[in-house]
Structure 1
Amino acid sequence: MSSESLQRAQPAPAICRRTILAALGAAGATAALTACGGSDDSSSGSSGSSEPSGSTGSGGGEALAKTSEIPEGGGKVFADQKVVVTQPTAGEFKAFSTTCPHQKQQVNAVDNGLITCPAHGSQFSVTDGSVEKGPATSALAAANITVEGDSITLA
């Protein structure tokens, strides 16, 4: 065999496994940092009023609203925090995830005692998050809040 045919028969140099792992690690770190980045957007409620969304209450969680901002028999969606806070009866406050269990869309309204998902019209009770109208078949997940005085804090 000639030296020319030997050169053609040699495989192309392989990419080093360390190079691939290093590239994937750098890409993963960039993605993780991007995903963990915060937002300066302080709008969070469906009513358009401003909440103290960057402050913390004495419980260490994020302050959501004053109790006076949550209507009796209704509630308010805090889209940035992915929580809806309701007041089924005077002085009783509940919180639920805004993620609809049907297809993981976000509920966006509270009206007439019902929390509504705009995607397919599922409706949930402000009292316990249970399904009032499908297609969802399971309740909204409960969320933890703390009410101290007139302040509602995400726990």
Structure 2
Amino acid sequence: MQKVNAQPNLPSRRNVLAAGAVGVGAVGLLAACGSDEEPAASTPTSAAPSPSTSSSAGSSTGSPADALASTSDIPVGGGTIFADKQVVVTQPAAGDFKAFSAQCTHQGCLVSQVRGNEIVCTCHGSAFSTSDGSVLAGPATSPLPAQTITVEGNSIVLG
């Protein structure tokens, strides 16, 4: 008489656990590098104390309703990131406002900090100049593209 296995050919517990560990490791590896998203930057983010909201730009100064920010929202020698608009506005010198894409040229993460004269992408450590968007530290090799802004009175308007 031949013994018949009542269970179909199932992988051993050891094989299931090993496959699970490899799967989890691969997911963790994929999540750690190669993601096009960076942890969301708050809107706005700046090197100085941030304003309560970016919508306060047009509240009492008679500024345009489509204003991105008030000039007082952008610290001199720093900048503010507007993640929802994917733009970073800087003021390298008093009254000199610049705007750049907030999307890092390395792998497309949103930049997350403005520290002094540097716009920083914490995804992989790239840093860009607040005055011209040029690369200060890699792995990015291309500058942040400039964006068009207009200063109308105390308001900064994108586009």
TM range (shorter): 0.5 to 0.7
Establish whether residue 130 from structure 1 lines up as the match of residue 129 from structure 2. Answer: no
Q: Is the aligned partner of 1:76 residue 2:80?
A: yes
Matched AA of 2:70: K
Superposition RMSD on alpha carbons, in Å? Answer: 2.0
Deviations 1:52-74 (A, max 9, x none): 2897x65xx83111101101110
Q: Which residue among 95, 104, 107 is the counterpart of 2:108?
A: 104
How many angstroms apart in 2 are the aligned matches of 1:54 and 1:74? Answer: 18
Contact 2:99 2:146 in 1 (8 A): yes
Number of equivalences: 110
SS in 2 for 1:52: helix
Partner Cα distance (2:151, 2:57) in 1: 17
Per the alignment, in what secondary structure is the counterpart of residue 80 of structure 1? helix
Going from structure 1 to structure 2, the CA distance change for 1:53 and 1:98 (only over 3 Å counts) comes to farther
> Distance between the aligned counterparts of 2:108 and 2:96, measured in 1?
27
* TM-score when normalising by structure 1: 0.66
Residues 99 and 109 (structure 1 numbering): CA distance in 2 closer, same or farther, change over 3 Å? Answer: same
**How far apart, CA to CA, are the structure 1 residues paired with 2:125 and 2:155?**
31
Q: 2:53 corresponds to which residue?
A: 50
Gaps of 5+ in 1: 1-42
Aligned to 1:88, the other structure's residue is in SS state: strand
Q: Secondary structure at the match of 1:135?
A: coil
Q: Relative to 1, partners in 2 of residues 1:150 and 1:115: Cα closer, same or farther, differing over 3 Å?
A: same
- List 4+ stretches of structure 1 deviating above 4 A: none
What is the distance in 2 between the residues matched to 1:83 and 1:68? 17
Cα contact 2:57–2:155 (8 A) shared by 1 = no
For the residue of structure 1 that corresponds to 2:80, the secondary structure is strand
* Matched-pair identity in %: 55
User: Residue 83 of structure 1 contacts residue 143 of structure 1 at CA under 8 Å; is this kept in 2?
Assistant: yes
Q: Which amino acid aligns with 1:49?
A: S
Q: Which consecutive unaligned segments of at least 5 residues does structure 2 have?
A: 1-41
Aligned-pair distance for 1:44?
A: 2.3
1:48 CA drift (Å): 5.9
